[in-house]
Copies of this chain bind each other. A is one copy, B any other.
Amino acid sequence: MSLDDVLAQIDRNLDTATNHLMDLLRIQSISTDPAYKADCDKAADWLVADLKSLGVDAAKRPTPGHPMVVGHVGEDNSDLPHVLFYGHYDVQPVDPLALWTTPPFEPQLEETENGTVIRGRGASDDKGQLMTFVEACRAWKSVHGTLPCRITFFFEGEEESGSPSLIPFMQEHAEELKADIALICDTSMVSRGVPSIASQLRGMLKDEFTIIGPRIDLHSGHYGGPGLNPLRELSRIVDSFYDQETGRVAVDGFYDGVHEVPADQLRQWQSCGFNEADYLNSVGYSQPHGEKAYSTLEQQWARPTLEVNGLWGGYNGAGSKTVIPSEAHCKITCRLVGDMDPDALRDKIRSHVSAQLSPDAKVVWDQDLEGSRASVMNIARPEFEAARGALSEEWNREAVFCGMGGSIPIAGLFKSELGMDAMLVGYANEDDAIHSPNEKYDLKSFHKGIRSWARILDALTK
């Protein structure tokens, strides 16, 4: 029995594995919206049952929010590593629903100019990616009768809603969760067909505020003119976040803790296959925006942002309403790099907003404080070189270490809470439309992703 047998089994079983993934995609596990609590629970149950079918001792584990799924298989063996695999079964909300061409929770295969895709919410982020590892284990087990080493499975249901239960759960179950290294499948390839291992991730800060003007909604005929309009106030405040000339964030102290990318790393990134034109054109941009002094790649991987994710107030129904609303609302997130401290940054942003307020305008902030620092992977570990070799083999292309624009706080948490390094390998593409309408996962990503994990497991246990 050899790796080739496992790979052949993966190829034979692809249809079944795809249909199986679609079962999971049908479950509407939107974690941020309390209306989908039962669906999150159902997704956890589905995964427990699936892991059990692989002989894994798996269970749904309650938290104050959505449950974790934890599974153990294999015995300690000093010759073999003990790996933990992490993924998340929750998904982003689907709005604006009207822009979906197929129902988000009725997954289907579609032919596109880039080949067959699995269309549906979570197909890429993260159910499809999560299942690449599970399917690799299933093939391994079917060929070898056992899994290659001791594996702990750890699936979260709150990744898309700030992971409120994650740290307490890790702390409470630290001994149970500790392994030699964490494997995480929740990232993209730097460019189509270029296998990628993340070397650094941006951190994240979320915040939300409401600007309050008049005590009640007003008639714009009666108060238009002398009345303070919170929509106008909010627009001015949001605009004040940025320096239009340079594209930089204009919040005082925002760039504290940000470091320039070393020249040699920058050269390596520039040759890693990132296609700026594709990256921009695929979503309708003719040129990069943002900080003018930095390349698109640097902005995405190594520069912080302050982004408005939602902004609303007044009347947004059909027709018109001549209202000066009492309130205007804004949701923001920041991406953090280097040594930026989320708590200090939150204070700076809040101070900036307060300093902009007109007389009679008030600001109320969200009470839910969330933030994670940027993280840098320990790519000197031998597992990274083993994975790079395995991925290069599978994809017929040198695998690269690259930055990532997204924030996967879990990587840093494995280090801070459990003292474990993490390795992030993912097969998503930039055009997967994760968090957007019409999310998809290339069937090729799914197929070669499963094969990649089989190769990585093989390389780690040789």
Q: Mark A198-227, 1 if CB is under 8 A from B, else 0.
A: 000010101010000111111111111111
The complex places the Cα of A161 from the Cα of B99 at a distance, in Å, of 27
Q: Mark A306-350, 1 if CB is under 8 A from B, else 0.
A: 011111111111111111111011010101000000000000000
* Closest Cβ neighbor of A212 among chain B residues: B284
- A287 interface residue, CB < 8 Å from B? yes
* A93 contacts B315, C-beta separation under 8 Å: yes
- A95 interface residue, CB < 8 Å from B? yes
| Residues of chain A at interface, number, CB under 8 A | 100
* A405 contacts B307, C-beta separation under 8 Å: no
* Closest Cβ neighbor of A223 among chain B residues: B283
* Closest Cβ neighbor of A232 among chain B residues: B308
Instruction: Determine the chain B residues whose CB is within 8 A of the CB of A242 once the complex forms.
Output: 232, 236
Instruction: Determine the chain B residues whose CB is within 8 A of the CB of A325 once the complex forms.
Output: 309-310
* A435 contacts B311, C-beta separation under 8 Å: no
- A144 interface residue, CB < 8 Å from B? no
Q: Give the distance to chain B from A267, nearest Cβ to Cβ, in Å.
A: 20
* A309 contacts B299, C-beta separation under 8 Å: no
The complex places the Cα of A238 from the Cα of B430 at a distance, in Å, of 32
- A129 interface residue, CB < 8 Å from B? no
Instruction: Determine the chain B residues whose CB is within 8 A of the CB of A223 once the complex forms.
Output: 283, 300, 405
A405-B222 contact in complex given A216-B436, A317-B93, C-beta closer than 8 Å: yes
A216-B331 contact in complex given A222-B300, A231-B238, C-beta closer than 8 Å: no
- A33 interface residue, CB < 8 Å from B? yes
Checking B92, B225, B300, B318 against A299 with a beta-carbon cut-off of 8 angstroms, the contacting residue is B225
A33-B318 contact in complex given A222-B300, A289-B360, C-beta closer than 8 Å: yes
* B314 contacts A309, C-beta separation under 8 Å: yes
- A390 interface residue, CB < 8 Å from B? no
The complex places the Cα of A213 from the Cα of B289 at a distance, in Å, of 11
- A288 interface residue, CB < 8 Å from B? yes
- A188 interface residue, CB < 8 Å from B? yes
* Closest Cβ neighbor of A360 among chain B residues: B285
* B284 contacts A436, C-beta separation under 8 Å: no
Instruction: Determine the chain B residues whose CB is within 8 A of the CB of A147 once the complex forms.
Output: none
The complex places the Cα of A461 from the Cα of B315 at a distance, in Å, of 45
CB within 8 Å of B: which A224-267 residues: 224-229, 231-232, 234-239, 241-242, 244
* Closest Cβ neighbor of A435 among chain B residues: B219
- A378 interface residue, CB < 8 Å from B? no
* Closest Cβ neighbor of A300 among chain B residues: B225
* A311 contacts B285, C-beta separation under 8 Å: no
Q: Give the distance to chain B from A300, nearest Cβ to Cβ, in Å.
A: 5
* A226 contacts B407, C-beta separation under 8 Å: no
* A308 contacts B435, C-beta separation under 8 Å: no
* A208 contacts B320, C-beta separation under 8 Å: yes
Checking B162, B308, B324, B406 against A221 with a beta-carbon cut-off of 8 angstroms, the contacting residue is B406
CB within 8 Å of B: which A367-426 residues: 370, 404-407
Instruction: Determine the chain B residues whose CB is within 8 A of the CB of A122 once the complex forms.
Output: none
The complex places the Cα of A323 from the Cα of B436 at a distance, in Å, of 8
- A191 interface residue, CB < 8 Å from B? no
The complex places the Cα of A286 from the Cα of B360 at a distance, in Å, of 6
Q: List 13 A-B contacts (CB under 8 A).
A: A32-B318, A32-B321, A161-B320, A188-B222, A208-B320, A214-B284, A219-B406, A221-B405, A224-B335, A225-B303, A232-B241, A235-B235, A289-B358
Chain A residues in contact with chain B, CB under 8 A? 31-34, 92-93, 95-96, 99, 161-162, 188, 202, 204, 206, 208, 213-229, 231-232, 234-239, 241-242, 244, 280, 283-291, 294, 296, 299-300, 303, 305, 307-326, 328-329, 331, 333, 335, 358-360, 370, 404-407, 430, 433-438
